[in-house]
């Protein structure tokens, strides 16, 4: 019941933010960030109608994937070590944190032929944070490379900005990501996903065009480790 109430509250926040942005709620999807939460918690989320789960830590994610029989679309949203790319390519539907040509090529080479192409977002460092990501000036080159890799499907851009409690400060890195998306579209690279916004800054992200929110605490409560 607690999860259902959390989900209702989250959807209310999203609806209010979409109204303020003059956007439809259908334009914004929820990626439930299940890192450090239990298999039972994920099963509760699935029962409530959420089927996209985001995981940061590979070994933790692989254990959950092996234990959950429910249909779940798994998203890898953590830092990618090159020696972990095979397991990511073999077990996930999405990867949000591609920021180097080396990682992109390895994911492409290691994506099994019987699986659909791996959905990829390029992580952009929009404000010199230490969360990683490629410089915006280098995004076009990486987009072109990924576009030519047959086992990858380039979907969009992702960012993890520095935290702020002020709405206008929160909006700035999200605005940069949206503007970069628009610049890429103007030169022929159409992207349908802006992966941006978490529990503390989702309103700012929605105002700036987010299509996918990565939500953990607002759904599952505080993490246990």
Helix (H, G, I), strand (E, B) or coil at 210: coil
pLDDT average, residue stretch 27-34: 98
Binning pLDDT at 50, 70 and 90, where does residue 153 land? very high
In whole angstroms, what is the distance from residue 113 CA to residue 115 CA?
A: 5
In this model, does residue 122 exceed pLDDT 70? yes
First to last CA, the chain: 23
In this model, does residue 130 exceed pLDDT 90? no
Under 8 Å between Cβ of 146 and 154? yes
Task: Please tell me the predicted confidence (pLDDT) of residue 224.
Answer: 63
Kindly report the number of other CB atoms within 10 A of residue 83's CB atom.
Answer: 8
Binning pLDDT at 50, 70 and 90, where does residue 225 land? low
In this model, does residue 109 exceed pLDDT 90? yes
Find residue 54's DSSP bridge partners: 33, 75
Binning pLDDT at 50, 70 and 90, where does residue 70 land? confident
Task: Please tell me the predicted confidence (pLDDT) of residue 42.
Answer: 96
- With a CB cutoff of 8 Å and minimum separation 6, the contacts of 160 are 123, 129, 131, 132, 133
The domains located in the chain, with CATH, are 2-219 (3.20.20.10)
Exposure b/e, 114-131, CB count within 10 A at least 16 = b: eeeebbbbbbbbbbeeee
Q: What angle do CA 19, 74, 207 make, to 5 degrees?
A: 20
Find residue 212's DSSP bridge partners: 29, 195
Task: Please tell me the predicted confidence (pLDDT) of residue 154.
Answer: 98
Under 8 Å between Cβ of 139 and 170? no
In whole angstroms, what is the distance from residue 152 CA to residue 134 CA?
A: 18
pLDDT tens-digit map of 156-210: 999 999 999 999 999 999 999 999 999 999 999 999 999 999 999 999 999 999 9
Under 8 Å between Cβ of 192 and 178? no
Q: What angle do CA 50, 65, 76 make, to 5 degrees?
A: 70
Task: Please tell me the predicted confidence (pLDDT) of residue 1.
Answer: 65
pLDDT average, residue stretch 64-69: 95
pLDDT tens-digit map of 95-106: 999 999 999 999
In whole angstroms, what is the distance from residue 220 CA to residue 199 CA?
A: 11
Task: Please tell me the predicted confidence (pLDDT) of residue 2.
Answer: 86
Is the model more confident about 223 or about 222?
222
């Amino acid at each position: 019941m607690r999860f259902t109430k959390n989900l209702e509250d989250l959807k209310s926040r999203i609806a209010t933010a979409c109204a303020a942005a003059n956007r439809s709620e259908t334009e914004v999807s929820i990626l439930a960030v299940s890192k450090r939460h239990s298999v039972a918690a994920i099963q509760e989320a699935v029962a409530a109608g959420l089927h996209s789960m985001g995981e940061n830590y590979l070994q933790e994610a692989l254990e959950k994937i092996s234990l959950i029989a429910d249909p779940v679309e798994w998203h890898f949203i953590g830092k990618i070590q090159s020696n972990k790319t095979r397991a990511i390519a073999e077990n996930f539907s999405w990867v949000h944190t591609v920021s180097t040509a080396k990682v992109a090529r390895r994911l492409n080479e290691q994506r099994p032929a019987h699986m659909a192409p791996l959905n990829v977002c390029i992580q952009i460092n929009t404000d010199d944070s230490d969360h990683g990501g490629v410089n915006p000036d280098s995004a076009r080159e990486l987009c072109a490379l990924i576009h030519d890799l047959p086992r990858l499907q380039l979907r969009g851009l992702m960012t993890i900005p520095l935290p702020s409690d002020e709405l206008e400060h929160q909006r700035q890195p999200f605005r940069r990501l949206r503007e970069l998306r628009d610049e890429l579209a103007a030169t022929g690279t159409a992207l349908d996903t802006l992966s941006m916004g978490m529990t503390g800054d989702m309103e700012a992200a929605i105002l700036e065009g987010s299509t996918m929110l990565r939500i953990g605490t607002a759904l599952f409560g505080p993490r246990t480790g």
